[in-house]
Amino acid sequence: MLINEQRLKCELAEISEFGKLDGGGITRLAFSVEEKNAREYLKKLMLEIDLQIEEDAIGNIYATLTGSEDLEPVVSGSHLDSVPFGGCYDGTLGVMCALEAIRTIKENDCKHLRPIQLIVFSCEESSRFNMATLGSKVITGKLNLDDLKRLKDKTGISVYDAAKEFGCGVDELNKAVLEENTMHSYIELHIEQGPVLENHQIPVGIVTGIASPIRYELVIKGRADHSGATPMSMRKDALVTASKIIIGVQDIAQNKGSDTVVATIGYANAVPGVLNVIPGEVKLGIDIRDIDEDSLLEVDKLVNELIKDVITEDGLTYELTQLCKDTPTKLDDKIVQLLEDEANKLSIKSLKMPSGAGHDAMHMPKVSKYTGMIFVPCKEGISHNVKEEINLEDIYQATNVLANSLLTLANEK
């Protein structure tokens, strides 16, 4: 059973028109007009093959191909939202490949006991509301209505208001929460977002575990003064203090954690942000990740100590808000072995590997009996960037592995 390569190529190009940028790539933020149009296009394709479509209170889409028995579904999918000035494949690829896999199973009249389901998660990217994987966190009971009212974008619009304006029945959020083992299995296909597969010239990565992030927003409060009239010894420059923390976080990640720990200061916003005024306040976005939970917690502790010590020594004050704290996820050996077996049957090279980036799949073990991921290479490992690029031959091979794996799982009792 092989997919229709030309159809997948065309539909990837068509959905990339929604949010398309003149210089390449897309901007398709969560709950935006661009995302709504992409979702409507996708739902049209779903209806053409008679999938049953439902949407939950946060906007997650479930599209189901009925099985011959009333059993828990086999599920695949990803997300359609992007970062600003992002690539066309992060998230979207997993959705379109899952659709092609399900359509191939249906067109080949393959018998299957279990329903096969495509899920499109809402608001996977953290770039709008400073929290990632909102749709999968909602269905696993990790976010409530108060959380959605608290989380806001840069313009002050909350997730709650954005979702409601988008047409979601967000006031009935509790109905979106799924019970344990609601799904038999979940497999997410995604671009690697790193250079390993391309460097090894391997088209399919089989993910063994997913790193988790701990994220903070740090507000450092000094005093804004005239840049010419304030002696160096009398300043409370929040940006200078911030620079010490930035360098310190880098040092901790490089020298104090495991080989797989990473830490990033994603933004540094100085106020008032003009040339002739000493910065009185700075906001830093701090992102710490690892696939090793002990190392992640140790680095987190050291970063917190660093912040307290540096700011206290400089005589400033601060507010530290934890945006999220997730646990690294080990994916199921059963799915890892299945993906490897199906790749071998198709004579496709594969590589077992961890994921340094977070994905909706990291939450799915709470509602799915078995969870796995497939990676495909991206050129030079570039992602979250308009230069994000893939090799279509790799995509076709990975989607064939996905389709055959979904069918195998769908015929398990």
Domain at 340, CATH number: 3.40.630.10
Number of H helices, E strands in the chain: 11, 13
Q: Number of folded domains in the chain?
A: 2
Residues paired with 214 in a beta bridge: 288, 325
Is 150 assigned a ligand-binding role in the annotation?
no
Q: Which secondary structure element, helix H or strand E, spans residue 2, and what is its range?
A: none
What is the span of the domain harbouring residue 273?
213-325
The reply to whether 70 sits in an annotated binding site is no
CA 340 to chain centre: 24
Domain end position, chosen among 309, 325, 341: 325
Whether 52 and 197 map to the same domain: the answer is: yes
Q: What is the predicted pLDDT for the residue at 97?
A: 98
First to last CA, the chain: 21
| Tokens linked to 4 | 């229709």
Whether residue 146 is annotated as binding a ligand: the answer is no
Beta bridge partners of 121: 79
Query: Which helix (H) or strand (E) element contains residue 17?
Result: none
Cβ within 8 Å of residue 43, ≥6 positions away: 53, 61, 63
289 annotated ligand binder: yes
CATH number at residue 229: 3.30.70.360
pLDDT of residue 172: 97
SS3 readout for 117-138:
EEEEECCCCCCCCCCCCHHHHH
Beta bridge mates, 52: 64
Q: Are 47 and 53 in contact (CB under 8 A)?
A: yes
**What are the residues whose beta carbons fall under 8 Å from the beta carbon of 345, sequence distance 6 or more?**
404
**Do the annotations mark residue 235 as ligand-binding?**
no
On whether the CB atoms of residues 210 and 291 are closer than 8 A, the answer is yes
Domain shared by 190 and 269, yes or no: no
Do the annotations mark residue 411 as ligand-binding?
no
Has residue 213 got a pLDDT over 90? no
Number of other residues whose CB lies within 10 A of the CB of residue 321: 10
The pLDDT confidence band at residue 357, using thresholds 50, 70 and 90, is confident
Same domain, 95 and 140: yes
Parallel, antiparallel or unpaired: strands 61-65 and 52-55: antiparallel
pLDDT-derived band of residue 174, with 50, 70 and 90 as boundaries?
A: very high
- Residue 276 annotated as part of some ligand binding site: yes
Interstrand relation of 317-325 and 212-221 (parallel, antiparallel or unpaired)? antiparallel
**pLDDT surpassing 90 at residue 326:** no
Question: Are residues 30 and 170 both part of a single domain?
Answer: yes
Query: Are residues 84 and 94 located together in one domain of the fold?
Result: yes
The answer, yes or no, to whether residue 396 has pLDDT greater than 90, is: yes
Question: Which of 308, 325, 342 corresponds to the end of one domain?
Answer: 325
- Percent pLDDT > 70 in the chain is 100
Is the same domain home to 81 and 168? yes
Residue 173: phi, psi to the nearest 5? Answer: -60, -35
Asked whether residue 90 is marked as a ligand-binding residue, the answer is yes
- For the cut 90, the answer to whether the pLDDT of residue 327 exceeds it is no
Confidence (pLDDT) at 70: 95
pLDDT of residue 337: 98
Q: Does 308 lie in the same domain as 236?
A: yes
Give CA–CA dist 141/332, Å, rounded.
21
The pLDDT of residue 356: 87
Same-domain pairing of 44 and 138: yes
CB atoms within 10 A of CB 213: 25
Length of the chain, in residues: 413
Tokens of 168: 């979601």
Please, are residues 384 and 86 in contact by the beta-carbon 8 Å criterion?
yes
Question: Residue 269 in 3-state DSSP?
Answer: strand
Residue 134 shares a structural domain with residue 50 = yes
Mark whether 36 and 129 lie in a shared domain: yes
Q: Which of 325, 357, 373 is the last residue of a domain?
A: 325
Segment 15-49, tens digit of pLDDT:
999 999 999 999 999 999 999 999 999 999 999 99
DSSP output for 275-336: TTB---EEEEEEEEEES-HHHHHHHHHHHHHHHHHHHHHHT-EEEEEEEEE---EEPPHHHH
Same-domain status, 381 and 363? yes
Helix axes 92-107, 5-15, angle to 10 degrees: 140
Same domain, 321 and 237: yes
Q: How confident is the model over 104-143, as pLDDT tens digits?
A: 999 999 999 999 999 999 999 999 998 999 999 999 999 9
Say yes or no to pLDDT of 359 above 90.
yes
